[in-house]
Amino acid sequence: MNIEDDRFTHEDTANDRWIGALIHVQRHDTPERVDQLVDRAVVRLRSASATETLRTAGSIGISGTSVAPRARRWDWRAPVAAAASIAIIAGSALLFSPQPASADSILHAAQVAESGSGDRRYALELVFPTRAGEADAQAPRAVGTLDIRDAEHVRLDIRFQDGRAMTRGTDGTTGWTVDPRGDVLSMPTDARWPRFIETPEGDLLADRLDVLLADIGAHYQIVRCDKGGAMQICATHDGSDFRGPESIELTIDPATKLVTRAALNFGGPPEGAARRAVRAGDAVATTGSGRPDAITARGARDDRPEGGPGGPEGGRGLAGGRGPEGGRGPEGDRGPEGGRGPEGGRGPERGPEGRRGQAGGPGPDGERGADRRPEPRVVIIERTAVPNGAFDAAWFSPPSAPVRKAPPPPPPSGPGGPGGPSGLGGRGPGPSGGPPPPRGDR
Amino acid sequence: MSEIPPNLRLTADSGRGPDAADVFAILVREHGERLLAFLRASVPSSSVDDIFQDTVLVAWRRLPDYDRTRPFGAWMRGIARNLVLDHRSKMGRERPTDDAILDAIVRRAEAEDRGDREEFRAKLVKLEDCVARLPDEYRTVIHLSYRLDAPIARIAAEVGANVEAVKKRLQRARAMVATCMESKEATT
């Protein structure tokens, strides 16, 4: 009988065993030892994958195969793969071992957890810039839900404080929206969603949270910022030209590693300040010296043709920063040069209104946006339970047959011209019921 | 058709971020101590490392079956439990753990899924504090048994007691530690 068997003879209940095991783990299984054990296992599985050639990528999908074949033919790839594996593992160990459950490791775990699909409901809270003279607490808000099955099945319901509502959906076959009179209008299935629920690449944010998390890992400085016992990661934009929120706060379920809440702070001054900033932005951007701004930048979205002529303060004027070649043509594609104009981006000083038609020109439905809000400065996305566990099959379909097509977006103002209102308030799906334009950049 | 399961979009596909094995390793690390605790409670130490390795490899192979709505740690432990049963069947009559105890250990381990790795380590620190507070005669046998891995007979000789008395003393020491842990958790 060895020592351990001997120990088991005096640990005769589960509680006894458990406490004994904890004492043993505490004394012997240091984080470093655990990491070594894991690294050793990963080297084995990498090495097995490498020698199983084409199965490398698919090895996780093959059950019943030998992960660690006992007898292998000599293959020059094996030592190369092993060396590469050791290097990768050593690198991983350096990256991840110093701080157990570091912000990095949690973020990557969340990335895996969020990579699946299925019915999801997110509660949305949108906080808009305050109007001049308003305190922060008075900032206009809107609440709603974003229901997602996959990229083809999406439904967005938002209610504004003033009673207006926005309802949009797509079932993959029909895109639809409901106008203020309650009429259901059809619209292209690839019509753009509001900016705040899309990733900078144009993916639906909540559908691709794993992409957002990868972006956070690549373009944000992250730290753990647990609050009240909740596992949280605070991400601050690293100042690169990546187009994304200024800061993001993620709350993560410690067990499943799913993101339960994401607070996206797009920054931006209060409205009154924004009005001043847009003027300042004009001055800077016309010099062409601006660089893309992390907060306000939104390349593809900001040059949509739906904007129409900007109003006095609306849309993308010179501050928009795109040069003559940078604009999108009528189809929403990039201009002849296929990229940004000579300015190479937007003026860093450009406020939110530099891109949004705060009081801008007519929206897609021809309604002027004088009373419309700019895009939200804070968006809070919180995962909530799906009623009955799954959405009804018809949930993403139009509530009734569309009575007509949603009005098309107005003609663009021409390449590089000023954009019109493109924010939540200035776009089709707003209270006026008009749709946003098709995603010309896809 | 991709062999990569649809429920796991690997970042390697998009050319950014860590590859699947890196991410998998991070998840396993996160749950490593808790998995080891489960194994140490279930099988002799001499088998723990091997079963741990096998659990990781089987989990990697079966990743497509993982229901991501379930806790990863619980899923890994389910695999480990099957390997423990397999190990136990190989041991024949020298089974270190019967079914009832194993199920109860699983339930104890499940309680640890609520927190993360840091919380678990924090719990171990509390446990160390509880051990330090034990009366000398109890702390000594814990030290000899768990830190020095001394056999019961040697501990008995060391402390001048018989084997049965040492077993009883160890058992009481663990019970006192358990009580101490419960009171610490109740106050936090």
How many Å separate Cα A112 from the centre of its chain?
A: 15
| Å between B92 CA and nearest CA of chain A | 14
Please judge whether A61 and B53 are an interchain contact, meaning their C-beta atoms are less than 8 angstroms apart: no
Between CA B106 and CA B89 the distance in angstroms is 18
pLDDT digits (tens, 9 = 90+) for B82-131: 999 888 887 765 555 677 888 888 888 888 877 788 888 889 999 999 99
A61 in contact with B, Cβ within 8 Å = yes
Between CA A120 and CA A147 the distance in angstroms is 6
Which of B10, B68, B88 to mutate against chain A (most A CBs within 10 Å)? Answer: B68
Helix (H, G, I), strand (E, B) or coil at A169: strand
Please judge whether A25 and B124 are an interchain contact, meaning their C-beta atoms are less than 8 angstroms apart: yes
Please, which residues 81-140 of chain A have a Cβ atom closer than 8 Å to chain B?
Answer: 88-89, 92, 96-97, 100-101, 105-106, 108-109, 111-113, 115-118
A210 in contact with B, Cβ within 8 Å = yes
Q: Which residues of A touch B107 (CB under 8 A)?
A: 14
A201 in contact with B, Cβ within 8 Å = no
Complex prediction ipTM: 0.87
A9 in contact with B, Cβ within 8 Å = yes
Q: Which residues of A touch B29 (CB under 8 A)?
A: 34-35, 38, 96-97, 100, 105
Give backbone dihedrals phi and psi of B37, rounded to 5 degrees, phi first: -60, -45
Q: Which domains does chain B have, with CATH numbers?
A: 1-114 (1.10.1740.10), 115-188 (1.10.10.10)
Q: What pTM was computed for the model? A: 0.41
Between CA A36 and CA A30 the distance in angstroms is 10
Give me the tens of pLDDT residue by residue for chain A, a chain 442 residues long. 444 445 565 566 888 889 999 999 988 888 888 888 887 787 777 665 544 432 322 322 222 222 333 223 333 333 344 444 444 444 444 444 434 467 887 887 777 777 666 788 889 998 888 877 777 778 888 899 988 887 678 899 989 888 888 899 988 888 899 988 889 999 887 777 776 666 555 555 655 677 678 778 777 888 888 887 788 999 998 877 777 788 999 999 887 778 889 998 887 544 443 333 333 333 323 223 333 332 233 333 333 333 333 333 333 333 333 333 333 333 333 333 333 333 333 333 333 333 333 333 333 333 334 345 567 888 898 888 888 888 887 899 999 989 888 876 554 443 333 333 333 333 333 333 334 444 333 3
Tell me which chain B residue has its CA closest to the CA of residue A16.
B174
Please judge whether A108 and B121 are an interchain contact, meaning their C-beta atoms are less than 8 angstroms apart: no
Nearest to A85 by CA among B32, B49, B19: B19
| Å between B187 CA and nearest CA of chain A | 15
Contact yes or no for A97/A219 (Cβ under 8 A):
no
Structure tokens at A230: 């909740």
Which of B2, B3, B162 to mutate against chain A (most A CBs within 10 Å)? Answer: B3
> Which contiguous run of DSSP H or E holds residue A166?
strand A165-170
Between CA B54 and CA A26 the distance in angstroms is 22
